[in-house]
Amino acid sequence: MAFISRGFHGRRPSAGTKLPPGQYETTGFPVLSAGPTPRIRKDDWQLSVTTETGKRHVWDWAGLMALPADSPTVDLHCVTKWSKFGTQWQGVSLDVLLADVETSAEHVLVTSYGGYTTNVPLADLVDGKAWIAYGYEGGDLAPEHGGPARLLVPHLYLWKSAKWVSGIELRQSDVPGFWETAGYHNYGDPWREQRYQGD
C-alpha cells in the first residue's frame, strides 16, 4: 500500500508549463489532514507573532479584518503530487503583519490550532510571497481548508501553508516542523522537487 494519499480525480495536463516536475493537475481541491479539523470561532481566533526576544504581537479577528487585504491568484502544489491552478484567495500579506515587528531572526516556526507546525525561512514569508488567507473563491475559507485563516505560501509545497494558523514564531535557529521531522524536505521547493530529505 502507498503511504501517501495521492489526491483525487487527477489527470495529466494538456499544457505542462505551469506544472512542477512530478505533479499532475487536479480541478478539485483535495482535503489532506493529519488530524481532526479544529473548529475555531472567529470570536475566539487569535494570531500571534512572537519575536526572538519574546515580544508578542497579537491580532484578533477584528484586528485582522482592519488590515489592508490582498486578493492573490496563485497555483497550489501539494507534495502528494496534485497541483491546482488559478486559485483565488483573500488575505493579509505577511509584509503588513510584520511591518512593525522588529527582528533579526532568519527562521520562522509556524504553529496552528490543533498542534500542527511547519518551518519556513523568514525570507520566504516577506516581499509579497505569503499571506494570512481567510477568503477563498469569494467566500469564507472553509474549516477543512484551514479556515477561519491559514498561512498561504504558494511557492512552496502546500504543507508549508499551515491550516488553522495561530502563531508565527521568529527564531534565531531553525526548528523542523511536523512533516519536516518525518522525512519531508526542510524547504520544499516544488520546482526543484524537494519532497523528501536528501532531495
Partner 1 sequence: MTSVEPGGSEVNDTDAGYVDGNALAGPLSEVFAVDVTTATSRCANCGCTGPLARLRVYKHAPGLVARCQQCGSVMLRATRTRDAVWLDMSGAVSLAIPVGET
CA distance 91 to 53: 27
> Look-up: residue for cell 511557492?
155
CA distance 46 to 60: 5
Q: Which of 5, 46, 87, 103 binds partner 1 (CB under 8 A)?
A: 5
- The stretches of the chain forming alpha helices (DSSP H) are 61-65, 94-97
Strand partners, 151: 132
| Part in contact with partner 1 (CB under 8 A); list of ranges 3-11, 19-27, 92-100, 161-169 | 3-11
33 touching partner 1, by CB under 8 A = yes
184 touching partner 1, by CB under 8 A = yes
Q: Which of 124, 134, 179, 190 binds partner 1 (CB under 8 A)?
A: 179
Q: Which of 13, 19, 20, 30 binds partner 1 (CB under 8 A)?
A: 30
Q: CB-based contacts of 22: which residues, under 8 Å, 6+ apart?
A: 81, 193, 195
Write out the three cell numbers for 115. Answer: 498542534
| Part in contact with partner 1 (CB under 8 A); list of ranges 2-10, 99-107, 117-125, 164-172 | 2-10
Residues of this chain that bind partner 1 (CB under 8 A): 1-5, 30-37, 79-80, 115, 159, 179, 181-184, 195-199
